[in-house]
Amino acid sequence: MVRIEGNIPFVEPPQWAVLERSLIDLMDMSVHPLMERYVRPDGSVLWPPTEDFSSIDGLDDAYESFHNWPLFYLMGGGDHVLEYSHRTWEGITQQFTRYDTGHGHPMVVKEYEQGYDWMHQGEGYLFFYLLCLADPTEKNIERAKRYAGFYLNEDPEAPNYDAEQKLIRCAHNGSMGPAHRNFEKHYTVYRYAQWKPWPLPFHDIPGIETVEDLQKPGMEEKMGQTLVERMSRGDVACNLAATSMVTNAYLCSGDDKYRAWVEEYTNAWIERTRQNNGILPDNVGLSGQIGEYIDGKWYGGYYGWTWPHGWHHLSDACIAAAENATLLSGDLRYMDFPRSQIDVLMQQGEMRGQTLYAPHFYHDKGWDGYSPMQAHPTTHLWCMSMQQEDMARLQQQRNHDSDNWRQVSSHSSKHGGGHEAAWTAYLAGEYPDYPVDILRYNHAQVYQRLAFMRDDQQDPATYGDWYLQVRNPITVEGLVQLTMGAPLFMYNGGLLMARLRYFDPQRRRPGLPLDVAALVESLADERAVLHLVNLHPTEEREVLLQAGAFGEHSFTRVAYQQRRSISAEEAGAGHSHATQYKQTVQEQLEDHAVEVEGRHFTVCLQPGSAIRLDLGMERFVNKPSYALPWN
């Protein structure tokens, strides 16, 4: 393996590097009070508050409370973070086998969701995907294959997939197969109090023109019955997120049957989009016909264009599927799928001042829900394609009302992120202070959560399913962007697609070594620039770099500078004045380049030193895998 030495000393460590290591140390300590106060010793959580709880909803929320802990560990968080991650995964999974669904069986069957939609499953199983990536144990590899088997019809009790029509048979699905039962029991009444914040699922029900009309006698029942009739059978675009579960099994095993399924199912929806004049239809009947149960309409499916989130969720599902198919095939043409939908919305948009407002919903009255476009879908598209046309789309979508690409501002979100516009502006050279600004913001996020826990007097008997999500002190957006050169995963079920990953060969574990900070300064199709810093004053550090989160890329050539061997006189020159010393060091630098031709190489960083690496790369040329470098 190629080994490079970083030996350029610094007088003042970069501010971003100090903040990055400080953030890692801060979050390392912050998980202890949460575990001690809000989690039982066996890893189970304090919600639901009673053992007679019955629902089909809530498992995902429990898992979500810890979804980013394995990711923090694999970037450099402490070993205890991984131990806590395993403990809570096991504890929650076992805990939810005790709660009934209202059908006479538990919420968790065969260690898996008994049957629910992939908006919720996608959120919840992020925790599992990242746990497999961080620590692919034999137990979780077996689970990953078994879970994926529910969608390959390998379990006769879970016939979720119709291989002939290439569709998943129900919007609710899981370890007990198509869950029509959920609709027939839980959706027969569409309750105003529950759904009043959301748009109507249908606009053609006599007597119901607005959400407020649901308060009229019999209208909740009328809407509920229609929902069951139209949504309880057939496939929905939301199910595209299931490709992440099957891709996860491939990354664990390397078995091509998983790759074939992901491509087959993604291609089926691409073909349906082609048949629908280039717009992703959100529903298809059991016969394979678009709109089979909704009077031929391509919209109105469960978690589709009309209800309840529109493009805000469909974007996650179709982008996750396109990313998964690209990862497994190496074919970037899959990214045309979400790109085409982004273009549809932009074409339907309208300029208000300097900001493009685009629709995010479609129903009987046409396009609706105009608002500035969120940056994360197109950021994912650009990070996969590395094409200038996609960067141009990002720039067209900038929110000039909020200046969202020029500043770091607070966002209300489950993942604590939302700064893709600012990050990509930094990579384009337009926001040089972004690394410092986002890391300062991340520090504030953690301290706010710690203060909230310290002052918390809420009675645990009143906890909701979100109680731990609002207390979770781990925030990873800044670290993922700056160290791995990646956006946060699509929250409703995407995998982590990253340019770089790090390992500590001395401690034989994932993540940046102690005292080492990393900053991806630029990204291009065949190139990335990375700045590494060792903050330890007396000890060297060795870091192993991997091309891609799953080793799917390959390094070609690495260019860098080293300080040449110097005499004793030169070593002492200029020490009385920092500016003179830095100039002296600059004069002692030599250019180097080395051929790598592989997915790994190592850098040995001398104490108090740094190196900037110009990385030549070929992308999506290797078989992706969770395998660790030493395996």
For 253-298, write each residue's pLDDT tens digit.
Answer: 999 999 999 999 999 999 999 999 999 999 999 999 999 999 999 9
- Strand pairing report for 355-358 and 371-372: antiparallel
Q: Are 560 and 4 in contact (CB under 8 A)?
A: yes
pLDDT tens digits for range 449-476: 999 999 999 999 999 999 999 999 999 9
The Cα–Cα gap between 159 and 302 comes to: 20
d(CA 40, CA 459): 16
**Which residue has 């801060």 as its token pair?**
26
pTM: 0.97
The residues, any chain, with a CB within 8 Å of residue 225's CB and separated by 6 or more, are: 188
Mean pLDDT of the 599-614 span: 98
Taking the C-alpha atoms of residue 621 and residue 631, their distance in angstroms, rounded to an integer, is: 20
The predicted structure's pLDDT at residue 493: 93
Residues forming beta bridges with residue 530, ordered by sequence position: 520, 613
| Residue 587: predicted pLDDT | 80
Is omega for the bond preceding 106 within 30 degrees of 0, making it cis?
A: no
Cα Rg, the chain, nearest whole Å: 25
Superfamily the domain 1-30+499-631 falls into = Golgi alpha-mannosidase II (2.60.40.1180)
**Choice between 515 and 587, residue whose per-residue pLDDT is larger:** 515
Give the model's confidence band at 337: pLDDT under 50 very low, under 70 low, under 90 confident, else very high: very high
Q: What is the mean pLDDT of the chain?
A: 96
Q: In 10 A of CB 154, how many CB atoms?
A: 13
Token pair, residue 360, equals: 């995010």
Residue-level pLDDT at 452: 97
Residue 253: CB atoms within 10 Å: 18
Distance from C-alpha of 494 to C-alpha of 492, rounded to nearest angstrom: 6
- Does residue 53 have a pLDDT over 90? yes
Higher pLDDT, 186 or 581: 186
pLDDT value of residue 309: 96
| Alpha-carbon distance values, 390 to 324, 369, 393, 486, 522 (Å) | 19, 24, 5, 15, 16
pLDDT of residue 598: 97
- 576 pLDDT higher than 60: no
| Residue whose token pair is 């598209």 | 381
pLDDT in tens, 535-575: 999 999 999 999 999 999 999 999 999 998 776 666 665 55
Q: Distance between CA 103 and CA 186 in Å, rounded? A: 10
- Tell me: pLDDT of 593 over 60: yes
Residue 571 confidence (pLDDT): 62
pLDDT score for 540 = 98
* pLDDT of res. 410: 85
pLDDT of residue 413: 81
What's the token pair of residue 268?
């089926």
- Which of 385-394, 397-406, 571-580 is least confident? 571-580
pLDDT of 242 over the 60 cut: yes
121: left (phi over 0), alpha (psi -120 to 50) or beta: alpha
The answer, yes or no, to whether residue 586 has pLDDT greater than 90, is: no
Q: In Å, what is the CA distance from 275 to each residue of 126, 268, 298, 602?
A: 32, 11, 11, 49
The answer to whether residue 180 scores a pLDDT higher than 80 is yes
Q: With CA atoms as reference, report the closest residue to 370 among 359, 381, 386.
A: 359
How many angstroms separate the CA atoms of 340 and 332, rounded? 14
Residue 96 pLDDT greater than 70, yes or no: yes
So where are the chain's domains?
1-30+499-631, 39-187+232-498
Nearest to 7 by CA among 619, 390, 563, 628: 563
> Domain 39-187+232-498: which topology?
Glycosyltransferase (1.50.10)
Q: Evaluate the CA torsion angle 89, 92, 94, 97 in order and state its sign.
A: negative
- Alpha-helical (H) ranges within 284-374 are 311-329, 336-348
